[in-house]
Structure 1
């Protein structure tokens, strides 16, 4: 072939490849567009809607907090959140890879241990049983794989590397706590039931989770799984995956064995309910406390780190392990600010604290000393 012919041929092949790539991209976009409606989840109908309507938390067509809460965006005169998001000087990402660990094998079957996988996803190993909290293994917490907050670190283990589970708990239906792809993978790869607040079962039902594996609970309701008493308890937050808000309930969780107890906040602002939960269900050997994604613009739906210590003490907690930080960029504060503030407050108030790396197994009775591992990459 003459040089000119080779050039023309290369151009033709280039156009063909670009065209093929374009078609593939369009096909990918079409797939994502098709998948987004499913990721939005289901709606309450029939018996599920009738049960929700009977809940003390449900009125005027939506779920409500116990004593109301400040609107999502509180008045903050003179502040431009969009400008702060784009031009703010906060260091909202780590400067180096987040260190990941593979969980060490348990040393004894009856150890109470916690494995934090990142964000709010954690594994509780209690009296030989395993309970998984708010699992999200997707790259983004979003209904779309193309847009939305992206992970700042990989999961420390693959989903198919998780041990056999006895229960999977979901605190509420926001995308950083309830992820369609993760739920579908766990449905196929595990046999454990999903325990969820009222209404969240509609999402799972749409995603193919068998009805017998969906257990919906209102606040104060309990369910026994594999010898554990699991109770949905109050939280101060909100819900929603599409334009509709508060159509499903949100909750914190109590996980109780015969001898050991664990509390998980889910997402919540600080409220009087923690003291009531501590009085009824405490003391707790360990609490998993939400500390990140706070802002004075939404003070009632996420706790500030100091409030997490308040809540831990209200709950009569032993060891405090922070969650809901480090993995997704969901607020305007520095990446390391939540855990720095928490550590300072815990030291000032003599609260036992463990801050694991993602994937690190913490033995509750012998927690590792806090070593400030995050500071060198902040």
Structure 2
């Protein structure tokens, strides 16, 4: 697609109309609701909430100070030819409701959504199963062909559902509404519960965690909120809810669920306090030169895993949506190379293919299609 001045003006007008429309319909359920009342009072006491917004541990801008928005818009329009796979993705259709698990078993659904089964406990992370990641079609690409092999109804009843932050590619209204009746408890970053309550989840089913908060679930299950370097917001307002990673100690295993994060010293701090980890799920994709602090480049993902003391890395946040300007399989190719160079164990399952800690670790290069 050739980018002309006329096309740019037309697109700008269309984007402006889309933004105005989104503001006009901000009260719709899809957008959720920012914290208020007692929840806001709790947030105001958080050491991570300053100047009317949540803050990262290190000063962090969403984009570089000198980033060209015109350049970013041009790149957004003129995506590389390999931004999408040339044909439907291969996958494995596992029967999730009859999945057996003596050891923690992870089934990835593409992007940052995955199921963990440990003995009789079903754990779901950042489920997005509606095929889109934006309230405005212009900004949210559809999922890749072949990546949507599961519907919410095919998932088992969920004991623990984790939400790392409130961006649309991690907190999906349509998916949550479908799953809501079958979720025992929601474990979310501080403030995210406001969206859930607005959608009909009872307060007693929501556990909100600030960074370093520890929550005992059972004698052999513990959840800890952990820092991440990112931002939040489902509207024009940013930073009203927190963004987090989660540490899950379950049945004698240590699992790190990373959410979205740029690279920083917090990975080493988490590793020193709570590592080493039997498996870590870390973002690997949707990075860009203009926003280097809020997402990691693949080589940084490998280093973050090393900082955490990872015995095994499972890369997520790729393989389903176009949210950046790199080739669709560039992140995984770069990460595999970086992991090999660092002797970092990595597993690369197809969507739906089980990873069993200490037993089954798929590593086939399936993405060169």
Q: Does structure 1 residue 352 correspond to structure 2 residue 339? A: no
Structure 1 residue runs of 5 or longer lacking an equivalent are 1-29
- Structure with larger Rg: 1
2:92 alignment partner in structure 1:
101
Shift of 1:265: 1.0
CA contact 2:223–2:246 (8 Å) conserved in 1: yes
Secondary structure class of the residue paired with 1:345: helix
In 2: Cα distance, 1:353 partner to 1:103 partner = 21
Superposed displacement of residue 260, structure 1: 0.4
**TM-score normalized with structure 1 length:** 0.86
- Worse-matched range after superposition: 33-42 or 116-125: 33-42
- Tell me how far 1:127 sits from its aligned partner: 4.2
Distance 1:147 1:307 in 2: 27
> Could you give the per-residue CA deviations for residues 68-99 of structure 1, whole angstroms, max 9, x where no partner exists?
11342443579822222223535100000011
- Supply the distance in 2 between the matched residues of 1:42 and 1:79 (Cα, whole angstroms): 31
Cα shift at 1:53: 0.2
Determine the structure 1 residue equivalent to 2:195.
203
**Matches of 1:334 and 1:36 in 2, distance apart?**
36
In structure 2, the gaps of 5 or more residues are: 1-20
In structure 2, what is the Cα distance between the partners aligned to 1:223 and 1:81?
A: 41
1:198-237 matches, cutoff 5 A: 198-226=190-218, 227-237=220-230
CA distance in 2, matches of 1:81, 1:311: 27
Given that residues 248 and 254 in structure 2 are in contact (C-alpha distance below 8 angstroms), is that contact kept between their aligned partners in structure 1?
yes
- 2:299 is aligned with 1:299: no
Other-structure match for 2:151: 158
1:48 aligns with 2:21: no
| Contact persistence 2:83–2:326 (CA under 8 A) | yes
Give, in angstroms, the shift of residue 36 of structure 1.
6.9
Q: Residues 201 and 278 from structure 1, CA distance in 2 versus in 1: closer, same or farther, beyond 3 angstroms?
A: same
State the Cα RMSD in Å: 2.2
2:112 matches 1:123: no
| Counterpart residue number, 1:246 | 239
What is the DSSP-based 3-state SS (H/G/I as helix, E as strand, rest coil) of the residue aligned with 1:274? helix
Cα distance in 1 between the residues matched to 2:261 and 2:69: 27
Q: Select 1:361's aligned residue among 336, 343, 354.
A: 354
2:29 equivalent in structure 1: 38
Relative distance call for 1:341 and 1:55 in structure 2 (3 A) is same
Q: Which moved more, 1:225-234 or 1:73-82?
A: 73-82
